[in-house]
Amino acid sequence: MPQNRSAQKRKSSSPYLFILLVLILLTAILIVGTRAMNTWKVYETQAAIQPDPTPTVTPISVTPNPFRATDTPVPPTAPPLPSATPSLLGSGSQGDMVKQLQSRLQELGYYTGNIDGDYGPGTKAAVQKFQQLNGLDADGIAGQKTMAVLYSDSALPAPGPVDTLSSAVPLLVNQWNPLPTGFEPADLVKVKDVAGNLMTYERDSIQGVREAAEALTRMIQAAVNEGYKPWKLREAYRTIADQQRIFNNRVTGYMTENSLTRSQAIARTRQSVADPGSSEHHTGLAFDLNVPGEAFGDTAQYLWLKNNCWDYGFIMRYTDDKEEITGITGEEWHVRYVGIQHSKKIQELGFCLEEYVEWLNRQ
Ligand SMILES: [Zn+2]
């Protein structure tokens, strides 16, 4: 009987064992499933902060900036790399790690936004600028390599704004003399704040270097007093980043619309758009003038400008006869401020700026 009972007991316990086994199996499936989901989420997050597929332009060679930055910040001693550094911070990242990143970028002069822990476009642009100036791949993602340089003592601070008129030789910018990445002129003002209603403006926000904007105002005022009007300011200061955007858009356009290869598209773009860093508009000393609705070269305003700009510190920067030296076909609407002393001498010698700078350097 007892034997029978135990046999019965064994017999009756087997369904419980089966249920237990099923439960264990289900739990195991649940654990494995959750892990797979998490891995996928991490993958998705990382995929979201991969660099944009937009092509970047072939790097241009950059000569060292011959102009001393005013206010060059002293590189602060690097704080230690945060111990819990994640391998990757990028657009969309949030939290304390981003706050630390923003503080460090601010310390080095790259970031001026809020320390809010949100990796938005401002943070991305600051990371890119830092990467460009520190010889890193400028993808705007703070990966391990970028973090390591950022928190090292050799992290280069952002250059301060440059006094573009302090040198005895006028600042020369062309395709052979590009400005360094991060170049920024000092003392920019909105031209409209200086010249008011003397002209109309392509955008009210157009900026120029104060001294140049004031000279432009005196010049246009003189023209208007003699009856030469109206005038429109089409373009003045343009950042290197703006130029990069214009350049990239044109390259992409040629590739998609004209089915050109990348290198063909770049070559074609260079015919009409200056390489980022090599446009004179980066100096804040160049102005594109216009008469609304007319080809500027056919207007009385242009003739007046051509004859009188020298008395106000301006030169006609690109003329057809100097194309081989400047690398730019004639642009009658583009004037460049160099200061009266230089402009009068340049007019007298009949030089373009390249020739004049070379001549000055030989003196
Ligand atoms: Zn221009």
Catalytic residue numbers read 331
User: Any idea where the domains of the chain sit in the sequence?
Assistant: 68-160, 188-238+279-362
Q: From ligand 1's centre to the CA of 178, what distance in Å?
A: 16
| 68-160 CATH choice from 1.10.101.10, 3.40.50.720, 1.10.3720.10, 2.60.40.10 | 1.10.101.10
Is 103 in contact with 89 (CB distance < 8 Å)?
no
The pLDDT profile of the chain, 363 residues, written as one tens digit per residue, is 444 444 444 445 566 666 666 666 665 555 544 454 444 443 333 433 333 333 333 333 333 344 433 344 445 566 766 655 556 999 999 999 999 999 999 888 898 889 999 999 999 999 998 998 899 999 999 999 999 999 998 998 888 899 999 999 999 999 999 988 778 999 999 999 999 999 999 999 999 999 999 999 999 999 999 999 999 999 999 998 889 899 999 999 999 999 999 999 999 998 778 899 999 999 999 999 999 999 999 999 999 999 999 999 999 999 999 999 998 889 999 999 999 999 999 999 999 999 999 999 998
Q: Are 68-160 and 188-238+279-362 equal in CATH topology?
A: no
Query: What pLDDT does 272 receive?
Result: 76
pTM of the model: 0.65
Distance from C-alpha of 302 to C-alpha of 285, rounded to nearest angstrom: 19
pLDDT of residue 128: 92
Say how many Å lie between the CA of residue 363 and the centre of ligand 1: 29
- Predicted local confidence at residue 78, as pLDDT: 67
Quick one: three-class SS letters along the chain? Answer: CHHHHHHHHHHHHHHHHHHHHHHHHHHHHHHHHHHHHHHHHHHHHHHHCCCCCCCCCCCCCCCCCCCCECCCCCCCCCCCCCCCCCCEECCCCECHHHHHHHHHHHHCCCCCCCCCCECCHHHHHHHHHHHHHCCCCCCCCEEHHHHHHHCCCCCCCCCCCECCCCCCCCCCCECCECCCCCCCECCEEEHHHHHHHHCEECCCCCEEEHHHHHHHHHHHHHHHHCCCCCCEEEECCCCHHHHHHHHHHHHHHHHHHCCCCHHHHHHHHHCCCCCCCCCHHHHCCEEEEECCCCCHHHCHHHHHHHHHHHHHCEEEEECHHHHHHHCCCCEEEEEEECCHHHHHHHHHHCCCHHHHHHHHHHC
Query: What integer pLDDT is reported at residue 108 of this predicted model?
Result: 87
CA of 287 to the centre of ligand 1 (A): 6
pLDDT at residue number 65: 40
- Cα–ligand 1 centroid distance for 333 (angstroms): 7
CATH code that applies to domain 188-238+279-362: 3.30.1380.10
For residue 306, report the distance from its CA to the centre of ligand 1, in Å.
Answer: 15
